[in-house]
Amino acid sequence: MRIFKDTKYDFLRWRWHAIGLSLLVIAIGVGSIAGRGIPMGVEFAGGTVVIAGFDEQPTIEQVRSALSDSFSGQTVVVQTYGDVEFRQVMIRVPEVGEETGNQLGAAAVKVETALREASLGDFEVVGTEIVGPAVGRELTSKGISATLLSLGGILLYLTFRYQLSFAVGAVVATIHDLVITFSFLSFFQVDMTLNVIAAVLTVAGYSSNDTIVVFDRVRENLRGMRRDTLKQVINVSINQTLGRTIITSGTTLFSALALFLFGGEVLRGFAFVLLVGVVTGTYSSVFIAATVVTFWRGKGPAKAAARAPASAATVSPNQPTRRSKPARKARAS
């Protein structure tokens, strides 16, 4: 199905505007991360999470006040959880007790006891999650390693499959997407959980795949557009893949939106990262990755055309030339 036919948009004309917008968002995001930080989920920060379902919905302040004496001086996070009709509250405390033995669940028991003593009505503990500090540090280390290894793998693969300039463009675009994703996590204070890390790695792969589609068409066009500039070749290639990009990104975006709206609280962070990543991944493939390649190669003719097979009509500079038959007849007359 083709939704665009013979489009001739000059995408690279707007590359400076796109880079300026990206730098602005990244600068604000870095400031937000430095000032507010990204809230760490229990998997990374360590602690205890208790989800309680009440017969009558208490206010957040009532729950926080009930826990103030038992967890004095500690940062206690209290927020509503799931659909309003279930009247559930999520409580996260940094205290986990001992790493092993029966003391591991001491904080969860402490939370439940404090809620019952506060007379907030009948409730039931519907979920508990406990992660010790050592496990949190290990998960943090593995999450960072997985992200760095994925970027390194993308760089090596594209260098081998295409050329170094294409590989650098794809990696820069992927890093751009990850930085903006982390910025939005800080803007909206979305917890960094294992689901979010999985979504971040998914965004890295999605962004690279979208960039590869454009670069593959660029490589094909370089063989037939040898006299055109690289900027013209890239613009033509983006226009040729525009329909595919819109269809693929659009379906992925709608799927992530449905997951965000109806997937429940557990999957909300995962879906949020996908929503941001699909938009930034499509945007960076068109503007960021292509712009890096043009900077790397310059404004001259398409240099990668040198890798294209030589035409059969090409004459070697050492090959002797022969006069044509009509020329000999002309001299005879």
Instruction: For the beta carbon of residue 327, count every other beta carbon within 10 angstroms.
Output: 9
Contacts of 279 (CB under 8 A, 6+ apart): 249, 253
Q: Which of 132-136, 146-150, 294-298 has the lowest mean pLDDT?
A: 132-136
* Overall average pLDDT of the 104-109 stretch: 74
Q: Which of 50, 264, 141 lies closest to 272, judged by CA? A: 264
CATH of range 47-131; options 1.20.1070.10, 3.30.70.3400, 3.10.129.10, 3.65.10.10: 3.30.70.3400
**Residue 5: phi, psi to the nearest 5?**
-135, 120
* pTM for the structure as a whole: 0.74
Q: Provide the percentage of residues in the chain whose pLDDT is more than 90.
A: 16
The per-residue pLDDT of the chain, averaged, comes to 79
**Where exactly does CATH 1.20.1640.10 map onto the chain?**
11-37+136-307
* Of 2-6, 43-47, 59-63, 150-154, minimum mean pLDDT range: 2-6
Alpha-carbon span 232 to 215, nearest angstrom: 14
pLDDT digits (tens, 9 = 90+) for 260-274: 988 877 788 899 999
Q: What is the mean pLDDT of residues 188-206?
A: 86
* Contacts for 265-270: CB closer than 8 Å, 24+ residues apart: 265/81, 265/82, 265/90, 266/195, 267/195, 269/190, 269/191, 269/193, 269/195, 269/196, 269/199, 270/195, 270/196, 270/198, 270/199
How far is C-alpha 131 from the chain's CA centre? 26
Tokens of 292: 């890096």
**Residue 20: band (very low, low, confident or very high) from pLDDT cuts 50, 70, 90:** very high
Which residues of the chain form CATH 3.30.70.3400? 47-131
Quick one: pLDDT band at residue 186, thresholds 50, 70, 90? Answer: very high
Residue 196's nearest CA partner among 146, 155, 245, 262 is 146
Q: Which two tokens stand for residue 141?
A: 């280390």
What are the φ and ψ backbone dihedral angles of 90, each rounded to 5 degrees?
A: -100, 130
CATH code, 11-37+136-307:
1.20.1640.10
pLDDT (0 to 100) of residue 78: 84
Q: Could you tell me the pLDDT band of residue 323, with boundaries at 50, 70 and 90?
A: very low
